[in-house]
Amino acid sequence: MVSIKKSKWYLFKRMLAGAVLAVVAASLLAACGASAGKPASGSAKEQKVVRIGTNGAFYPYSFKNTENGDKLEGYEIEIWEKIAEELDFTIEYVLTDFASLFGALESKKIDTIVNSIALSEERKTKYLFTDPYVYSGAQLVVKEENTTVNSLEDLKGKKIGLVAGNKIMLNYIKEADPEGKIEVVTYETGEGAFRDVLLGRLDATFSTKAAALAQIKKTGQPIRLAGEQFVVIPAGSPFLINDDNKAFVQEVNTTLKKLRDNGTIKQIAEKWYGEDISKPAE
């Protein structure tokens, strides 16, 4: 009787040991599977996601290609995708109108902005910017046949189109026209302003010189650059000022230098603009 009890206990211990080994083996397999693929949620190695805000309507910096399923393309898009490859993070694009971009940044709905954002002195006190990768001054753009408008002075009593939220260009207009004789019409996108210049609804619009030249090259539209280029303000991507962002922006700047040194940024710029706008003109 006693020997039978011992035998059953022996079998029970063997079954228990087998079950424990099975659980351990399954755990090891799961761990191996997680390390070979995407890290488990909450893991320290989980891939970083950077939310980039853009209006997706500023050719050729950042725009939706309607011939390619509205995919975001452009000079700045390509640069940030190269940065993401180098630093191993994923980009999540957040589309909104230009006037709402800084509000989205302030409310932490996005991490940065990619929309040829000029590094004005005011902005540099409020935000942490990457090193500039755009150097192109603002320029008046008019219909090709319009030979009377070559300066803001010439626009008094006329209409100019501005993208809503473009405070830098609005300040230029106010300084040149304190009496408010220039009528300012705001648009959600630069494309809308270009269109109305062509239709004669506007006498001029503002654009960066590089963007205007790229637009003319792409579409063959009968528009021209009017007068002298305004002051060239470098552009980059702004972040909120905090310790995490300081560390990340430092990594981005190191990567930008690498991409400059190996000719990648120059190649991207020449693809979209026909010239290298990533550095100041010599």
224-279 pLDDT, tens digit per residue, is: 999 988 878 899 999 999 999 999 999 999 999 999 999 999 999 999 998 899 98
pLDDT bin (cut points 50, 70, 90) of residue 173 is: very high
**Please, where in the chain does CATH 3.40.190.10 lie?**
48-135+234-273, 138-226
pLDDT at 21: 40
Which H/E stretch holds residue 24? helix 2-36
Tens-place pLDDT, residues 118-161: 999 999 999 999 999 999 888 999 999 999 999 999 999 999 99
pLDDT bin (cut points 50, 70, 90) of residue 282 is: low
Per CATH, the number for 138-226 is 3.40.190.10
Rounded to an integer, what distance in angstroms lies between the CA atom of residue 160 and that of residue 155? Answer: 8
Q: Residue 14 above 50 pLDDT? A: no
Tens-place pLDDT, residues 70-104: 999 999 999 999 999 999 999 999 999 999 999 99
Torsion angle (degrees, nearest 10) of CA 189, 195, 200, 204: 50
CATH class as words, domain 48-135+234-273? alpha beta
Q: Residue 27 above 70 pLDDT? A: no
pLDDT at 46: 57
pLDDT at 214: 87
Tens-place pLDDT, residues 34-59: 333 333 333 333 569 999 999 999 99
Q: Contact, 22 vs 63, CB < 8 A?
A: no
pLDDT at 215: 85
Phi, psi of 28 (to 5 degrees): -65, -40
Full-model pTM: 0.73
Which H/E stretch holds residue 14? helix 2-36
Q: Residue 6 above 50 pLDDT? A: no
Q: Residue 12 above 70 pLDDT? A: no
Pairing of strands 71-73, 238-239: unpaired
pLDDT at 47: 65
Q: Contact, 143 vs 198, CB < 8 A?
A: yes
